[in-house]
Amino acid sequence: MSAAPLALYRRSLGNFRDTISIVMRRFAVRPARYPRILWSVWLIAWALLTVAVFLRLDAGAGEMRGEWSPGFVRFTDFFTQFGLGGWYLIPAALCLVAANLTDWRGLSRQRRMLVYNWTCFAFLVLCAAGLSGLAVNLLKYGIGRARPLYFNDFGVLSLHPFAMDARFAGFPSGHATTMGAVFGILLLLFPRRWYIALAVTACIASTRVFVGAHYPSDTVAGFGLGLAFAVVSGLVFARLGFIFGQTSSKLPVRKRTFRLAPFRAPRHRVSVAGENGELGADRTPTH
């Protein structure tokens, strides 16, 4: 192995070990003080909404399949592509790879802060969208609900558990789960604009109904699942001090230092240097 690839390998391995060390250290020294969120209430509300949509809308959606105008179907088919997880997971993974190969010590303070923020953001996307994607695939193949395409053959509720067939992978919707995770991330980062994020992501999730891939209850269940994974990821990140700060009574609050665009760091504050060289966005230097 030549010198350059060997140096790159050592840098990558060192960065990975440093990251794991930081995460483990913060888990050890920071108590698990998570805000009191009424998860049982949200779970019951989510389940009741899914059941209500199933009872009121699913049969009608199955009967309407194939009756939408071709122009409308093409319109929804274009926007439904934005529910694919690859749009979010691939850039996030590439960002983490680039950060892992970066010589952090050779960066200026401002650039190091920028790379740090992008690394945290990419990790949040992978946790929220990636883990929810794994969960929804386990659920949809384990439940085995037939898609609306086979409404005339199987009806609105036909279950084929572990058939491992895409025809019977309707509940929950994977695209809607991704959109729920995206909404959750935007909700945490931009809480004052939650209604805009909800409108956009819910509309994209609903396109799965119009293209005939899912029933309405599939999308509601998936959207809620993705949102839950995003909120839990945000809570864990807040405990670690990544992107968010901990609170005792509400959702994590984004730190002032978290920005994804270049900015000038305030004088007399260190953006990324912490104890023992640890990366952190909330440390003040000691002279």
Radius of gyration of the chain (CA): 22
* Calpha distance 46→56 (Å, rounded): 15
pLDDT number for residue 266: 53
Q: Describe the crossing of helices 131-143 and 174-189 by its angle, rounded to 10 degrees.
A: 150
* Calpha distance 203→129 (Å, rounded): 18
pLDDT number for residue 264: 60
Q: Chunked in runs of 10, what are the mean pLDDT values of the chain (287 residues)?
A: 77 91 90 80 95 96 89 94 96 95 90 94 97 97 95 92 93 98 97 95 97 96 97 94 83 91 59 41 36
In contact, 233 and 124? CB cutoff 8 Å: yes
In contact, 136 and 172? CB cutoff 8 Å: yes
pLDDT number for residue 195: 95
pLDDT number for residue 272: 42
Length of the chain: 287
Nearest alpha carbon to residue 182 among 214, 222, 212, 239: 222
CA 245-250-255 angle, 5° bins: 20
pLDDT number for residue 278: 46
* Calpha distance 185→119 (Å, rounded): 15
